[in-house]
Amino acid sequence: MSLPAISEGNEYLDSAGRLRAERVRADFPILARQINGRPLCYLDSGASSQQPTPVLAAVTYYATHQHANVHRGVHTLSQLATSVFEGARETVRAAINARSTREIIFVRGTTEAINLVAASFGRGAVGPGDEVLISQLEHHANIVPWQLLCAERGARLVAVPLTPEGQVDTDEFRRHLSPRTRLVALAHISNVLGTVLPVQELTAIAHQHGVPLLLDGAQAIAHQSVDVQALGCDFYAFSGHKMYAPTGIGVLYGREALLKAMPPWQSGGDMILSVSIQGSTWNDLPYKFEAGTPNIGGAVGLAAAFDYLRGVGREAIAAHEHELAAHASEALQRIPGLKLIGTAPGKAAVISFTLEGVHPHDIGTILDHEGVAIRTGHHCAMPLMDYLGLPATARASFGCYNTHADVETLVRALHKVREVFG
Amino acid sequence: MDLHDLYRQVILDHNKSPRNFGRLVPADAEADGHNPLCGDRLHVSLRLAGERVPELRFDGSGCAISVASASLMSEAVSGRTRGEIESLSDEVIQMLTQSAYTPKRDLGKLMALAGVHEFPARVKCASLCWHTLHAALAQTQATVSTE
């Protein structure tokens, strides 16, 4: 069940229910600083987002008032830390609408979540001659773990090609599902193209063939409400640091029946019930997959970030980001020689582009000089770049704190690039 | 920190019209250079006449700094001996990485790269071609030593 939306008296929204981005900005201390003598224009949230005061305060309060190890001691602080940590798990569960906290596994981030599934679920499900199906637009984190698994198991990694707009077509997807497909792993939103994949349909198709599906939600989690039951996926992976929480914390959601049948991955303390030299028995979910002392402060920060997003209003944030994406796409296209990479309808506020005669790395340096932070390079998606025939792109990615003024600053800075390069 | 310290006219010119662009086939030595951070790829091929490098060419794709640096390098090293190239390479790398470095001799057009050290993220772009050249030359030395 999702939590009720806050509407009345929400200071983050105007009377029409639209996001007041200037109010949101005030919560992010780093946005007040200057870079190279210019006000920071941060357009790299797709790589890592900034943290608002309530998240920073929650992490600090935990460290200054509640910290001890979890699930271990009888002393007051240990119990307090345990209840805070498990409270954070419940916040995450409610935010993504999982059935149970047993389905919420804290990990370091999306990469670790996918590696967990590859190592634990993958080793059991994928054998010689089998296939793992991904798409051509995946991030390396959703390619390399499957490559290693396939190499180890004598299986084959298959990638669905893209439409010219940069979308995964459902018919094409169906054609690449084979009787040997044992797992599908797809991005929810592309980190390069901004494409929002039709994940509900793709999941339904995979399930018609009896194949489980993992979604890499790294880019999606900050941009829209994620409801894992509505999506129907079997696994959902995401990182805190792309949704206004600290680095080093993330979540693997997995359907309980699958998690239950999976063997442990990393092992040690906290994941066991009993240990003798002859053998050990495993703890219940989710602890079976959480060996060692977890990132407790990170989990607290992650829960605070979910609370923050809910408090601001997820629908208003999504609507605001869509407006920024439309504004940026329209304004950038008017710059001579600029080409947008990824034009799928309804795309997220992740705008990749190239500028004729100027390498993205040079764009990045000149923009940085103007205080504008963007990402340049291959975006950890080299197979996609090869497919597009590009060595690199420049990418501006927007978050809840970006404004239309940021779009204008970006456009001005790109004209500066043209000025330097003639 | 001024953008024009990095993007000097010589750099922009060599980026737009790189000198000695292409590949020598066959070559006496060649090597590939790759900067995984930004995806720059560079191929350096050269001809050897005893200790001398009479001709060097490069191709690949990269930013203005890496292309201009390779182009300037190709002009600067053509006709020089291995020893001269090694000491020139040392000078250039020091100029790229140290602030206020005064080269021991006139580096000519290569001085256009003096502003790069103010942009730490770009040092690797400028030094990639020199490392690639070094790898190509080291390869021939290895061949020589096994014979």
Range with the poorest average pLDDT among A2-16, A109-123, A366-380: A2-16
Over 90: is that where the pLDDT of A409 sits? yes
pLDDT, averaged across chain B = 91
Asked if residue A413 lies in contact with residue A37, where contact means CB atoms within 8 angstroms, the answer is no
Instruction: Tell me whether residues A362 and B39 touch, CB distance under 8 A.
Output: no
For the beta carbon of residue B36, count every other beta carbon within 10 angstroms.
11
- Average pLDDT rounded to a whole number, residues A7-23: 90
- Determine, yes or no, domain membership for A7: no
Q: Tokens 């490392």 map to which residue?
A: B131
- Determine, yes or no, domain membership for A341: yes
- A207 with A228, same domain? yes
Short-list B32, B33, B28, B4, CA closest to B143: B28
Instruction: Tell me whether residues B7 and A420 touch, CB distance under 8 A.
Output: yes
CATH number, domain of B61, equals: 3.90.1010.10
Residues of chain B neighbouring A385 (CB-CB closer than 8 A) = 39
- Determine, yes or no, domain membership for B146: no
- Determine, yes or no, domain membership for B145: no
Confidence of residue A271 (pLDDT cuts 50, 70, 90): confident
Asked if residue A376 lies in contact with residue A393, where contact means CB atoms within 8 angstroms, the answer is yes
Q: Tokens 């790269």 map to which residue?
A: B113
Confidence of residue A343 (pLDDT cuts 50, 70, 90): very high
- A43 with A149, same domain? no
- Determine, yes or no, domain membership for A299: yes
- Determine, yes or no, domain membership for B64: yes
Q: Last residue of a domain, which of A310, A338, A372? A: A310
Confidence of residue A369 (pLDDT cuts 50, 70, 90): very high
Short-list A411, A393, A410, A395, CA closest to A350: A395
How many distinct structural domains can be found in chain B?
1
SS3 A246: coil
- Determine, yes or no, domain membership for A149: yes
How many distinct structural domains can be found in chain A?
2
Over 60: is that where the pLDDT of A243 sits? yes
Q: Helical H runs in A66-209?
A: 76-96, 110-116, 123-125, 144-153, 170-176, 199-208
- Determine, yes or no, domain membership for A16: no
Over 60: is that where the pLDDT of B78 sits? yes
- A364 with A227, same domain? no
- A267 with A319, same domain? no
- A76 with A27, same domain? no
pLDDT at B145: 39
> Is the Cβ of A394 closer than 8 Å to some Cβ of chain B?
no
What amino acid occupies position A268? G
Q: What tokens does A353 get?
A: 């582009």
pLDDT at B141: 63
pLDDT at A279: 87
- A396 with A257, same domain? no
pLDDT at B137: 94
Confidence of residue A8 (pLDDT cuts 50, 70, 90): low
For the beta carbon of residue B2, count every other beta carbon within 10 angstroms.
9
Residues of chain A neighbouring B61 (CB-CB closer than 8 A) = 359, 391
Q: Report the gap between the CA of A362 and the closest CA in chain B (Å).
A: 6
pLDDT tens for A28-41 read 999 999 999 999 99
Mutate to test the interface with B, among A34, A361, A378 (most CBs of B within 10 A): A361
- Average pLDDT rounded to a whole number, residues B27-55: 92
SS3 A393: strand
Higher pLDDT, B88 or A72: B88
Higher pLDDT, A203 or B40: A203
For chain A, give the percent of residues with pLDDT over 70.
Answer: 98
pLDDT at B64: 95
pLDDT at A4: 47
Q: What span, in angstroms and rounded, lies between the C-alpha atoms of A60 and A83?
A: 17
- A183 with A281, same domain? yes
pLDDT tens for A59-99 read 999 999 999 999 888 899 999 999 999 999 999 999 999 99
Residues of chain B neighbouring A419 (CB-CB closer than 8 A) = none
pLDDT tens for B103-126 read 888 899 999 999 999 999 899 999
pLDDT at B144: 43
> Is the Cβ of A358 closer than 8 Å to some Cβ of chain B?
yes
Q: Exposed, middle or buried by CB within 10 Å (0-12, 13-18, 19+), for A128?
A: exposed
pLDDT at A107: 98
| DSSP label of A389 | T
- A216 with A184, same domain? yes
Residues of chain B neighbouring A378 (CB-CB closer than 8 A) = 39
Q: Which domain holds residue A269?
A: 57-310
Q: What tokens does A151 get?
A: 């190499």
Residues of chain A neighbouring B63 (CB-CB closer than 8 A) = 359-362
- Determine, yes or no, domain membership for B147: no
Let me know the angle formed at the C-alpha of B57 by B29 and B21, rounded to the nearest 5 degrees: 150
pLDDT, averaged across chain A = 95
- Determine, yes or no, domain membership for A216: yes
pLDDT at A206: 98
Q: Report the gap between the CA of B12 and the closest CA in chain A (Å).
A: 7
Instruction: Tell me whether residues B39 and A392 touch, CB distance under 8 A.
Output: yes
> Is the Cβ of B62 closer than 8 Å to some Cβ of chain A?
yes
- Average pLDDT rounded to a whole number, residues A290-317: 97
- A141 with A237, same domain? yes
- A274 with A321, same domain? no
Q: What tokens does A291 get?
A: 């060996």
Asked if residue A104 lies in contact with residue A98, where contact means CB atoms within 8 angstroms, the answer is yes
- A73 with A150, same domain? yes
Q: Cβ contacts of residue A339 below 8 Å, gap of 6+?
A: A353, A354, A355, A356
Over 90: is that where the pLDDT of B143 sits? no
- Determine, yes or no, domain membership for A31: yes
Higher pLDDT, B75 or A267: B75
Range with the poorest average pLDDT among A328-332, A387-391, B30-34: A387-391
- Determine, yes or no, domain membership for A14: no
> Is the Cβ of B60 closer than 8 Å to some Cβ of chain A?
no
Of B37, B41, B67, which has the smallest distance from its Cβ to A377's Cβ? B37
- A147 with A159, same domain? yes
Q: What is the 3-state secondary structure (H, E, C) of A267-328?
A: CCCCCEEEEECCEEEECCCCHHHCCCCCCHHHHHHHHHHHHHHHHHCHHHHHHHHHHHHHHH
